[in-house]
Amino acid sequence: MRAIEITQPGPADVLKLCERPMPVVKAGEVLIKVHAAGVNRPDVFQRMGNYAPPPGASDLPGLEVAGEIVDGDLDYTTLDIGDQVCALVQGGGYAEYVVAPVAQCLPIPKGWSMLEAASIPENYFTVWSNVFDRAQLSAGETLLVQGGTSGIGVTAIQLASAMGHRVFATAGSDDKTAACVKLGAERGINYKTEDFAQVVKSLTNDRGVDVVLDMVGGDYVPREIACLADDGRIALIATLGGGKATVDLAQVLRRRLTITGSTLRPRSVEFKGAIAKNLLKRVWPIMAAGKIKPVIHTVFPLEQAAAAHALMESSSHVGKIMLQVI
């Protein structure tokens, strides 16, 4: 099969088209003929040598796909050979075929194409796990999304807004903050020209937000603490701005704040399968109703994965960057 491999750690051009053996299906897994795959920031980190695959996972990049089930262990499932699904995988998505745990496969949402469905798993599993499970965003609460025009940001804005929450989002230009508003944010905040903590406080009558979804870390954390409401929570999913922060522990104690974080890739199949069930129950009906729409910035053919990574690193995109395999 054709695949994209990381020939050595380095810049985008270390991604090369290659021929690889077909992956071997094990118990509890299915073989998917890939139609499309999503490009995500963890793929970039892996390519640079900073995010090794978990033990036993494919060394090929790619964490989300959509395609057709062509083989596998389908006992005790509602799926069958020929079904079209999107799936979260531990790696190997940049290829014509990939193996996925059957528990991490979901039907294509009604009205969505294969390409659009491939943009779902990594972002929706991550946002659901961190915003709704770990940070417990609840009815009547507000959310601040850092990096609102990234794949994660677009997902968080659309999902939280569709579920009735007030959402604010940061982005790096006025055009991008306008895009956040179109996606459902009440206010987009240009972090280059505005102090997001001050803006959030002014928009909430000095109360602050209940949850912050943070992929920056670093010096953002003390400012996020400053704009949290009492009993507020920060859900950290990446440290693009640095892995160390100065935290005012007195505020954490006095105002009962929570700082939590997680990475999804190394978690168990059982854990991810539980998220999949929640998404199917809680989010798929919202998608079917048209309240959430795919936001795809650019589609590259599989062999142009290097160009897709270069675009990802430019941070000039709004929404998802995709690879078309078929």
Over residues 17-67, the pLDDT tens digits come to 999 999 999 999 999 999 999 999 999 999 999 999 999 999 999 999 999
Whether residue 179 has pLDDT greater than 90:
yes
Question: What's the pLDDT score for residue 76?
Answer: 84
Instruction: Write the pLDDT tens digit of every residue in 70-114.
Output: 999 998 888 999 999 999 999 999 999 999 999 999 999 999 999
Query: In the predicted model, is pLDDT for residue 221 greater than 90?
Result: yes
Instruction: Please give the DSSP secondary-structure letter assigned to residue 139.
Output: T
Confidence category of residue 150, pLDDT binned at 50, 70, 90: very high
Domains 2-120+265-324 and 124-261 share a fold: no
| 196-217: average pLDDT | 97
Q: How far is CA 157 from the centre of its chain?
A: 12
The residue with tokens 């006095």 is 254
Domain ranges of the chain: 2-120+265-324, 124-261
Q: Mean pLDDT over residues 281-298, rounded?
A: 95
Per-residue pLDDT tens digits for 293-326: 999 999 999 999 999 999 999 999 999 999 999 9
* pLDDT > 70 in the chain, percent: 100
Q: How many CA atoms lie within 13 A of 93 on its CB side?
A: 30
d(CA 98, CA 232): 40
Determine the pLDDT at residue 167.
Answer: 98
Bridge partners, 320 (sequence order): 296
Tell me the CATH number of domain 124-261, given options 3.40.50.720, 3.60.15.10, 3.40.50.300, 2.40.50.180: 3.40.50.720
With b for 16 or more beta-carbon neighbours within 10 A and e for fewer, the 259-272 pattern comes to: beeeebbebebebb
Let me know: does 171 contact 188? Beta carbons within 8 Å: yes
What pLDDT score does 40 carry? 96
The single-letter DSSP state of residue 128 is I
Position 7 scores a pLDDT of 98
Whether 130 shows a pLDDT value over 90: the answer reads: yes
Average pLDDT over residues 283-296: 95
Question: Is pLDDT at 217 greater than 90 in this prediction?
Answer: yes
pLDDT for 75 equals: 87
pLDDT in the model for residue 35: 98
Residue 139 to residue 144: CA distance in whole angstroms: 15
Helix then strand count (H, E) for the chain reads: 11, 15
Say which CATH topology domain 2-120+265-324 has. Answer: Quinone Oxidoreductase; Chain A, domain 1 (3.90.180)
Determine the pLDDT at residue 68: 98
Q: How do the residues of the chain divide into helix, strand and coil, expressed in percent and rounded to 5?
A: 35, 25, 40
Looking at residue 11, its amino acid is: P
In the chain, the percentage of residues whose pLDDT exceeds 90 is 98
Rounded Cα distance, 106 and 297, in Å? 23
